Amino acid sequence: MLNWGRVLTAMVTPFAADGSLDEPGIRRLVDYLLDHGSDGLVASGTTGESPTLTWDEKLTLFSLVKEAVAGRGAVIAGTGGNNTAEAVKLSQEAGKLGMDGILLVAPYYNKPSQEGLYRHFRTIAEAVPLPVMIYNVPGRTSVNIEAGTVLRLARDVPNIVAVKEASGNLMQVSEIIAHAPEGFRVYSGEDGLVLPILAVGGYGVVSVTSHLVGDDLNQMHKAFFSGNLREAARLHASMLPIVRACFQPSTPSPVPVKAALNMLGIPVGKPRLPLVEATEAERAVVAKALEDYGLLRKPQH
């Protein structure tokens, strides 16, 4: 039985002042997340700035996170990409490091057909013994993995066991949930839609905002699955200002959440180019959301 948990954090990658991996910072962040509501972690996802990490850095990151977690939760390695053969090799290396699963983002830029997507994911999954989560995020990749393609993969490839759905299309999500094989799990890939996706049969979330409100996000899941829908709805609504602050239209994630963590005294460094640090205006939005939530003390005038 798959045991990844319901609240998975797509963790940022802490960088040192010179831009290299901050190994002590990675260990500190792992401990913080596991102590604050995360059931498991995704290393080197989009939030972890995977496009700017070298192969060696990714493998180092996987090892560091796995070692730091020390059996306290699942570790899922982001090994996807737009080169199928390279993704196969990286996934195999992740398997040797003892990862609990892999996350495969849809190929980006080359815009494969649905048949191309099917063959891409099937080829990688069949090359590794690990459970696989597909990641559909058309806003980033420019291609949507249609429900029919996800269902075909779920039926045909035994170790494709989950999808992280960030299409924003609840009809598509509902179709996958309604027709997927028993045990196939749909995780929300959008923090603002976690509760709606749970309501149509979703299992959990791969989250960015869990860096900041992981305890409440975990409590929302517990409330929902225990039947306390009023409390789940209250928690969902209470977290929305944090979601808005972390996903500002003027800058991509993980820029705002990195700014937030640094404000909270959890140093994760700057993003790597081509991403740049949050502007003063963007930081102000983050600071206000943190203050209003009670995570950051309001300045005294």
Which residues are catalytic, by number? 135, 164
Cβ neighbour number for residue 294 with a 10 Å cutoff: 8
Backbone torsions φ then ψ of 213, nearest 5 degrees = -125, 35
Name residue 87's amino acid. A
Name residue 176's amino acid. I
Name residue 22's amino acid. D
Backbone torsions φ then ψ of 8, nearest 5 degrees = -105, 130
Side-chain half-sphere exposure of 213, counting CA atoms within 13 A? 28
Q: Alpha carbon of 97 to those of 52, 61, 91, 156: distances in Å?
A: 21, 11, 10, 26
Torsion of CA 143, 160, 172, 175, to 10 degrees: 150
Side-chain half-sphere exposure of 231, counting CA atoms within 13 A? 13
Contact in structure between 172 and 165 (CB atoms under 8 Å)? yes
Contact in structure between 201 and 172 (CB atoms under 8 Å)? no
Q: Alpha carbon of 284 to those of 95, 212, 262, 287: distances in Å?
A: 42, 16, 13, 5
